[in-house]
Amino acid sequence: MDANVVTAVNSLTSRWVRTLAPGNTVISGLGLWPLLALLSAAADEPGRAELAEAAGVDPSTAASQAVELIGALDEASDLHAALGLWVHQQLKLSESFDSVLPTDLTGTLVGDAAVDKANLDAWAAEHTDGLIREMPLEFTPDLALVLASALSLHTTWVRPFREQIKHIHEGEWAGSWHWLDRTDSDLDAVRVHDSEAGGLTVITVAGDADVDVVLGVAAPGTPQADVLAGLLDAIANPGGGRPGSALIGQAEPGQQLAPALTLAQTTAAAPDLTIALPSFSVSAEHDLLALRSLFGLTTVSTDPGEQGHFSAISPDPLAVGQANQSVLARFHATGFEAAAITAIGMTRTAALMPSSPRLAVALTHPFAFTAVHRPTGLPVVTGWIQTPTEPE
């Protein structure tokens, strides 16, 4: 995988985590990055430059990099990734459309909110193994184009945890919780890093295929943003910090070596590592336009005027009207699962999407019918339907 893309995704994620409000939450910079890259390839200036800077890409190669990234992720054993693109059936497309967006992924928006929602919800559920069942968009009459990504992962631990109920008597977590613990022979599954958060203890929980889960903990009271950013830095520098095997002998039993890490004793024949934590399940919804400047969406989400922001997609004026992400993560005794759906909806101006009357006919009670020979006007057969005749 392109190292520059990895760096760009990590940078986007790191900037995003610093904006998160305190509390349980989860994001996917990886789910958002391909969409920003694709938009940068399709946008006009100055939105093109804003999006390219946010995504850390060259707009001339961004579309191919986004598609290649999704393809590479989808080849992993534990991961599934997909891109989706839906275009309103009445949207005029530019000749350059297929050079800036992956047209082989194009579906159709029919303009019926219920139908479009059902179709895109089904796509979200299919590509997240049912973990997320709705596309995080409002299906409005002016919705002209939807660009979405889906990510899902299911990994099983190499060494499962034991689950029990644990009671914590004091502190922020006072109460009874579902608790996980296990013993590991790999001391270097824990590393201690120096960061803006001070000492940061990083624990890698290995999956049995190609996904691991990495945990980070700092001293109590350390700002959430600093811990998150420190963890991302540690992941970007996997050989950094001090490995657990190097910490043996640096303190007396009972002494703390780093946040959440204490030197203890065991009756086992060799040193080992114990890991204990609560099981967790967290989900979140993110309005990405609330951070439009961070994601390079400032210009392209404004009134497009007569020219619009995406002339490479359509001669009709288009603007980003919605940008949202639904994401969840679950850590349990035998493994980890997560999913994210990120969706960007483009809209046309009201002038190009007039509101007009619609006549809707629904034959929900007995009715008559006649077959007419058109050239002569002769009724060929005439009948009456008292009740439906076809079974469900």
Q: What are phi and psi of 274, to 5 degrees?
A: -105, 140
Q: Which pLDDT value is given to residue 364?
A: 61
Q: Which pLDDT value is given to residue 352?
A: 41
Token pair for residue 146?
A: 């939807």
Q: How far apart are CA 332 and CA 155, in angstroms?
A: 11
| DSSP reduced 3-state for 43 | coil
- For the chain, list residues with pLDDT below 70: 1, 195-198, 349-364, 367-385, 387-392
Q: Which pLDDT value is given to residue 171?
A: 81
Q: Which pLDDT value is given to residue 291?
A: 96
Q: Which pLDDT value is given to residue 360?
A: 62
Tell me the Ramachandran region of residue 369: left when phi exceeds 0, alpha when psi lies from -120 to 50, beta otherwise: beta
Q: What is the pLDDT of residues 33-71, one digit of tens each?
A: 999 999 999 999 999 999 999 999 999 999 999 999 999
pTM for this entry = 0.87
Residue listed under structure tokens 């989706």: 84
Q: What is the pLDDT of residues 278-324, one digit of tens each?
A: 999 999 999 999 999 999 999 999 987 777 899 999 999 999 999 99
Q: Which pLDDT value is given to residue 128?
A: 95
Q: Which domains does the chain have, with CATH numbers?
A: 3-155+281-351 (3.30.497.10), 157-278 (2.30.39)
Q: Which pLDDT value is given to residue 355?
A: 46
Helical packing angle, 3-17 and 29-42, nearest 10°:
110
**Which pairing describes strands 106-109 and 79-88: parallel, antiparallel, or unpaired?**
parallel
Q: Which pLDDT value is given to residue 361?
A: 62
Q: How far apart are CA 181 and CA 139, in angstroms?
A: 45
Nearest CA to 60 out of 293, 306, 228, 312 is that of: 312
